[in-house]
Structure 1
Amino acid sequence: MTDKSILANKFDVDAIRKDFPILNREVNGQHLVYLDNAATSQTPQQVIDVIVDYYHRYNANIHRGVHTLSQEATDAYEVARQKIQKHFNIAHSYEVIFTSGTTHGINLVATGFTSFLKKGDEIMVSAMEHHSNIVPWQMLCERTGATLKVIPMNLNGELIMEEYHKLLNDRTKLVFCNHVSNALGTVNPIEEIIDAAHKVGAAVLIDGAQAAAHIKPDLQALDVDFYTVSAHKMCGPTGVGILYGKEEWLNKLPPYQGGGEMIAEVTFEKTTYADLPHKFEAGTPNICGGIAFGAALDYMNHIGFEAIAQYEEELMQYATEQLLTIEGLQIYGTAKHKTSVISFNIDGVHPYDIGTILDKLGIAVRTGHHCAQPIMDFYKIPGTVRASFSFYNTQEEVNKLVEGVKRARNMLL
């Protein structure tokens, strides 16, 4: 396996780690090893500085004031929208809807489609979805009488695409799929999913929450109808994200919430709605969060997504090889195309117990069903230990994880 010196020649991880103040802290008397990046990534000082600067210098509401602070905040917020547009190669900035995160974006679309569906229509979701990309569609079916179909998966954690094509028909109106599985790390073949759905006239929403930190999707090239992202997965703050929607779809959908900002004119007899994107941005938004999201994209693009992907791939391969040397350890999710997530169990040991011992050693991993209970039911397990890596993790941290898992195994068996 590639050793540290070769990795370092390609990617200066030591310099990058200096940008993340939290990586210097101790947990339970041990130096922190943070391997829960699929839940939320850490935030670099460069983004923290942008947040502090906003509250120090120009904290004000946007789009509504003629005073200088309001204008400065508005400009910064709209510049962030343009950064997001450029990053994801979106045709128009007004196709970028700021949300509180991926879940908000999914619910916005699911609620909007209530008036478009009827009994006998079908919508489709994959078997490896986060609960946020299952429950809203079940609720949509309850409201409309539509039927939810499921694209099955195999034991490797890959979608069975032959079955997907069989399920598609002229009754299919919507298809939903994550770009990357949060529980398994599988990179799904979304190009094929989108193309096939469009051939039967169905719209497609892709949950990009887990992908966007590792992959730089070109949304125009994908020709996707909707794509959702959360900032906190990619070095930004919590409580902010975006929904991309094609202009034609966003114009068809009704507003998700009513309130200030999303109106053109209000009388007691009738209200008319604002143009995009404001039609879907009722109330005071997370202004600072949106600005910081733009700063986070600047930071990651400065490092380079190709360099990030290559480094994380090598780190995941090393971690996989080392973990598999542990007796009784099984990895769930062995797809050919994965991002840097490893979900595993040890025979005879509950994942929660392993996670608890690792925490005492200063190692942060996630345990449980990862809001993807159908995946755990498929494998007939209560959950997994999930180690998820980012570009600021190191081979030394992988070694600490492996030693920690060995220690946990010896204590629990």
Structure 2
Amino acid sequence: MSAPRGQFTSNFGFLMAAAGSAVGLGNIWGFPTNVAANGGAAFVVVYLLLAFMLAYPVLMAELSIGRHARRNMVQALRGISTGPVSRGVGTIAGFSGIIVASLILSFYAIVAGWMVAHLADPFATLMGAEESAQWLTGNSAARNLTFTAIFSGLTMLIIASGVEKGIERWSTLLMPALIILLLLLIAYVLFQPGAMQGLEAYLIPDFSKLSPQLMLSAMGQAFFSLSLGVGTMLIYGSYLSKQESLPRLGALVTLIDVGIAFTAGLLILPAMYVAQEAGTQIYSEAGELIAGPGLILQVLPALFDTMGHSGLFVAIAFFALMLIASLTSSISMLEVPVAFAIENLGMKRKPATLLTGLVIFAVSSLIIFNFDALFGLVVSVSTEYGQPLLGVVLCVFAGWIWRRDQLLKELQEGHPHIEQTLFWKIWPWYVRIVCPLLILAAFVQTML
């Protein structure tokens, strides 16, 4: 027998968990890095449009299917299927979601490990352990492996505790702390020399920078940021009470996610230009971003160094923020394969967590020892291609395969008069036709 299913005990608990899944390194690391690499404010405008035009409708599909089925992605898609072909497609899509979620977590844990190492660095400096501090900030395989293991262990500890005592409890503690730290750091950075130049680059769009690649990057960012396509929101939806209004919760999660991504940009972009003002080179002569995925780990420590002794405490606050953001997302990604192991393989939660966590850590280790060849490839395959294409499949299941009367009945739970709302008049045909076409059109554009 599989373990009994958990359930979020409050609306606030779900919001913090879902927003925590959405608000992670995708917002605070990925989003500002993409903004800096893709023309500044032009990317921000495209991202905001796609977050509401594509990500929110797909989020609603995931939450609806998840709460209706109350199972993992494989069984949920099979459960709403109407024949052998759709059941087969649902099985393939469900397993693909588990694989993509695991791939995302495998590279995500490496980046999060960097954050843990950089959080330890100021403490080593304060204690006068200079050699340790240099090792912590150096890019060695040993350091990466050590801190990926530490971060993976923290993620497994939370997931092993279950939905209420693990995911919900830690999300409600960590998310408010994240927001407070983020706002305090923004207030500090905006008063530094060079910050206003960064603010201009972030807020004043240059639409000559628009390109098909920018649109694909923005779409990938929106899906990665909201944890879409891989079953994380489907799983969280399956832990939701029937009394909750799904359209309202989905809108709130999207708004919180977009709001924090935008707010993170108010920290990172000005901080980049503050670091540039202090002598750190962030763009090449050709105008391309130099640092790539390690952007904030090259720019921000240089900024903290210019602050003298107080920079150590600002660094602690910043990397604590990054660790919190990392954990709130990683727990949602690990829950995808763990839920499958519990419900399909009949495993208890703790052994399921240990098994899946160790398999993903093994993949992380493979990436660490083949970093140049694998890291960028895994990021691109999973976030720019895997998530949006799986999003198309979820749209097809919600719009074409799931019986309309069952879909309406599910949405009426917690929202009895939804049939009379603008949401019901627009969303079913929008997720059925517009979302798949827009996502596929973005891919076609990049191939021309």
Larger relative helix fraction = 2
The structure whose RCO (Cα within 8 Å, separation 6+) is larger is 2
Whether these two folds match at TM > 0.5 is no
Please report the TM-score for the alignment, with normalisation by the length of structure 2: 0.26
Larger relative strand fraction = 1
